[in-house]
């Protein structure tokens, strides 16, 4: 029972490089989310997708883009990485609000360092 | 801006004691509430959901909700060193979730 799978688990980039973080869920959830978590800080929402084909900005979207490839997959792209984007990135998924007040389920995270 | 507040801790309790974690939220219309446990270097793990006023028990964990006071708490009975972690309170806000900053719990052997 995989749940939410994120790849890669670790990555080191140089300033200005680009990369895509991958996320896939097998729980048939409509909603997917990307968060970042910095040391000693809470979770901050970067982008979310309420359903396939839709995406919306969260609290800290600058410097990121997302793609909801299909119902299962939601990717996060850093076009030109900056040291301020060094963080742990979590992908999460949940059922839509209309199906009841369901929780989010998280992937294991991607630890990203920008040098 | 909807907010969820928690004491950041650390909260230290001896092994075998009851740990009490508290959370307040700003949106009186909130309907669903969650507690997550996050070990250092790991992802948040759902441990309790609560939707109705009152208590909900699951093993050593009890969640308590008081919508009139906009207050939700988590009690951990017979605390174990393995319970040492950060506990995140979350409130569902329609499509999104509002998380508190987390309370760091340390259970001392």
A53-78 pLDDT tens trace: 899 999 999 999 999 989 999 999 99
* A41-50, A89-98, B14-23 — most confident range: B14-23
How far off is chain A from B44, nearest CA to CA, in Å?
6
Do the Cβ atoms of A31 and B95 come within 8 Å?
yes
Q: Does A43 touch chain B (CB under 8 A)?
A: yes
**Greater model confidence, A40 or B21:** B21
Nearest of A81, A35, A77, A28 to residue A51 by alpha carbon: A28
A105: chain B residues, CB-CB within 8 Å: 46
**Greater model confidence, A41 or A79:** A79
Do the Cβ atoms of B90 and A104 come within 8 Å?
yes
pLDDT of residue A113: 96
3-state secondary structure of B82: helix
- In degrees, rounded to 5, the angle at the alpha carbon of residue A86 between the alpha carbons of residues A83 and A89 is 150
Do the Cβ atoms of B96 and A45 come within 8 Å?
yes
Q: Minimal Cα distance from B89: which residue of A?
A: A42
Q: Is the pLDDT of residue A100 over 80?
A: no
Exposure string of A74-99, with b = 16+ CB inside 10 Å and e = fewer, is bbbebeebeeebbbbbbbbbbbebee
Q: B40: which residues sit within 8 A by CB, 6+ positions away?
A: B85, B86
Do the Cβ atoms of A90 and B34 come within 8 Å?
no
CA distance A73 to A54: 12
pLDDT of residue A102: 84
- Range list of β-strands (E), chain B: 4-5, 11-14, 19-25, 33-38, 45-50, 54-58, 61-66, 71-76, 85-93, 96-99, 103-108
How far off is chain B from A101, nearest CA to CA, in Å?
6
Token pair, residue B62, equals 């009890």
Do the Cβ atoms of A101 and B42 come within 8 Å?
no
């Amino acid at each position: 029972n995989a749940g939410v799978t994120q790849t890669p688990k670790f990555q080191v980039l140089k300033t200005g490089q680009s990369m895509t973080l991958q996320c896939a869920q097998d729980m048939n959830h409509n909603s997917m989310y990307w968060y970042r978590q910095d040391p000693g800080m809470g979770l901050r929402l970067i982008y979310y997708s309420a359903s396939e084909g839709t995406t919306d900005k969260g609290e800290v979207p600058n410097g990121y883009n997302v793609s909801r490839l299909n119902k299962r997959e939601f990717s996060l792209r850093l076009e030109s990485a900056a040291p301020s984007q060094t963080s742990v990135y979590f992908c999460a998924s949940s059922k839509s609000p209309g199906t009841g007040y369901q929780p989010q389920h998280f992937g294991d995270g991607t630890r990203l360092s920008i040098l | 801006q909807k907010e969820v507040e928690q004491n950041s801790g650390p909260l230290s309790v001896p092994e075998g004691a009851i740990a009490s974690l508290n959370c307040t939220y700003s949106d009186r219309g909130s309907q669903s509430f969650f507690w997550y446990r996050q070990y250092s270097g790991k992802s948040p793990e759902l441990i309790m959901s609560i939707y109705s006023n009152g208590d909900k028990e699951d093993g050593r964990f009890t969640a308590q909700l008081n919508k009139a006071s906009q207050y939700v708490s988590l009690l951990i009975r017979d605390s174990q060193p393995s319970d040492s972690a950060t506990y995140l309170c979350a409130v569902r806000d329609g499509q999104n979730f509002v998380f508190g900053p987390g309370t760091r719990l340390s259970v001392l052997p």
